[in-house]
Amino acid sequence: MRRDTFLKSLAALAAAGALPAALPAAWAQPGASLKMLIPANPGGGWDTTGRSLGKAMLDAKQAATVTYDNKGGAAGALGLAPFLAGAKGDANQLMVMGAVMLGGLITSRSPLNLMQATPLARLTTEYNVFVLPANSPHKTMADVIAQLKKDPGSVKWGGGSRGATEHIAAAMIAREAGVDPSKINYVAFRGGGEATAAILGGNVTVGGSGLSEFAEYINTGKMKPIAVTSGQRLASAKDVPTLKEQGLNVEIGNWRGVFGGPGITPAQRKGLIDAIVATTKSASWQEALQKNDWTPAVLTGDAFTKFVDDEFASLRAIMAKSGMIS
């Protein structure tokens, strides 16, 4: 039976009361059975975002099934490449992304064009926290800065891929401290799980990531938080000072969003955006926001497209000023 005939039959049956009211709305929309590409290894912010979004879409009946595919590395570029090639015209594929991907594409001068894919929605914003291993000889960010001024290379900054917001923040901190940002010793990891292990093992001097990724280790005393990258102290980390409070004029947020495949139709794009927006209003998604200390920042469609374009320009300017790119 042809799809359009099948859908008409479903509609007729529904009108006659022959179908249950719980039939998922997404069955008649793009995205009924979704494949979620997560361009990062398990355990990090993108992984948590993608799986939380998928679960919420199922709970909100905006998808019939969701499968996940982790392809980590190069700030998401290793996942972006096959997504651009394999998701063309396919309204059943989504890709999690965010500020980290933009920064990575800029620093690596990648030939990949993110905007060939279809911008759908920004979901959240999260600020970074810098932490010390529990056995660190340092106690504060001032201690780290003092060592940085003596010997920039001796301070190992651990975080996500090159171009990640914590990498940019480290370069900005160095600049504010009067240290050449190009001399910072930044150790990039393929995912949040690897960065966490390096910090817990004392293999880096200071680590940076989203607060949600480090929260359990901070709460158990395995990591000591010394600064957040927000403009004001975070409600969930009231005892952690901002960088600005410590005399460093640094503020940067880490937003995350979702893209669709290249070349999907306007109707398919609208269907996916509608499903995502409906999902963000669900109890399941609200629980994920609270659990992970994410700030909701929903922005969709053309407004999101403009936001991403503007972010590319803003990040390039910040990174050039901080000596990360020429």
Residue 17, pLDDT > 60, answer no
Instruction: Please give the average per-residue pLDDT across 21-32, as a whole number.
Output: 46
Q: What was the pLDDT predicted at 10?
A: 39
**Residues of the chain above pLDDT 90, percent:** 75
Number of neighbouring beta carbons within 10 Å of residue 232: 11
Contact, 286 vs 208, CB < 8 A?
no
Residue 59, pLDDT > 60, answer yes
Instruction: Please give the average per-residue pLDDT across 90-98, as a whole number.
Output: 97
Looking up tokens 């109890």 gives 283
Residues of the chain with CATH 3.40.190.10: 127-253
Instruction: Please give the average per-residue pLDDT across 285-299, as a whole number.
Output: 93
Residues of the chain with CATH 3.40.190.150: 14-124+256-321
Q: What was the pLDDT predicted at 31?
A: 56
State the amino acid at position 86 in one-letter form.
G
Instruction: Please give the average per-residue pLDDT across 6-19, as a whole number.
Output: 44
Instruction: Please give the average per-residue pLDDT across 93-114, as a whole number.
Output: 94
- The pLDDT-based confidence of 29 (bands split at 50, 70, 90) is low
Question: pLDDT tens across 180-205, in order?
Answer: 998 999 999 876 778 899 999 999 99
- Tell me the CA distances in angstroms from 55 to 27, 67, 83, 97, 291, one per residue in order: 17, 10, 21, 17, 14
Mean pLDDT estimate for the chain? 89
- 127-253 CATH fold: D-Maltodextrin-Binding Protein; domain 2 (3.40.190)
Q: What was the pLDDT predicted at 299?
A: 98
Q: What was the pLDDT predicted at 158?
A: 96
Q: How far is Cα 35 from Cα 93, in angstroms, rounded to an integer? A: 5
Q: What was the pLDDT predicted at 24?
A: 41
Q: Cα-flanking dihedrals φ and ψ of residue 129, to 5°?
A: -125, 140
Q: How far is Cα 178 from Cα 172, in angstroms, rounded to an integer? A: 10
Number of neighbouring beta carbons within 10 Å of residue 96: 28
Residue 45, pLDDT > 90, answer no
Residue 49, pLDDT > 50, answer yes
**CB contact set of 27 (below 8 Å; sequence gap of 6+):** 10, 64
Residue 3, pLDDT > 80, answer no
Number of neighbouring beta carbons within 10 Å of residue 289: 16
Residue 322, pLDDT > 90, answer no
Q: What was the pLDDT predicted at 323?
A: 82
- The pLDDT-based confidence of 33 (bands split at 50, 70, 90) is very high
Residue 142, pLDDT > 50, answer yes
Q: What was the pLDDT predicted at 43?
A: 80
Contact, 77 vs 112, CB < 8 A?
yes
Instruction: Identify the DSSP state of 294.
Output: P
Contact, 87 vs 114, CB < 8 A?
no
Question: pLDDT tens across 155-181, in order?
Answer: 999 998 888 899 999 999 999 999 999
| Higher pLDDT pick, 9 / 260 | 260
Q: What was the pLDDT predicted at 38?
A: 97
Contact, 243 vs 225, CB < 8 A?
no
Q: Is 3 exposed, middle or buried (0-12, 13-18, 19+ CB in 10 A)?
A: exposed
Poorest-pLDDT segment among 29-33, 263-267, 305-309: 29-33
Q: What was the pLDDT predicted at 315?
A: 92
Q: What was the pLDDT predicted at 318?
A: 87
Q: Does domain 14-124+256-321 have CATH number 3.40.190.150?
A: yes
Looking up tokens 């609200």 gives 286
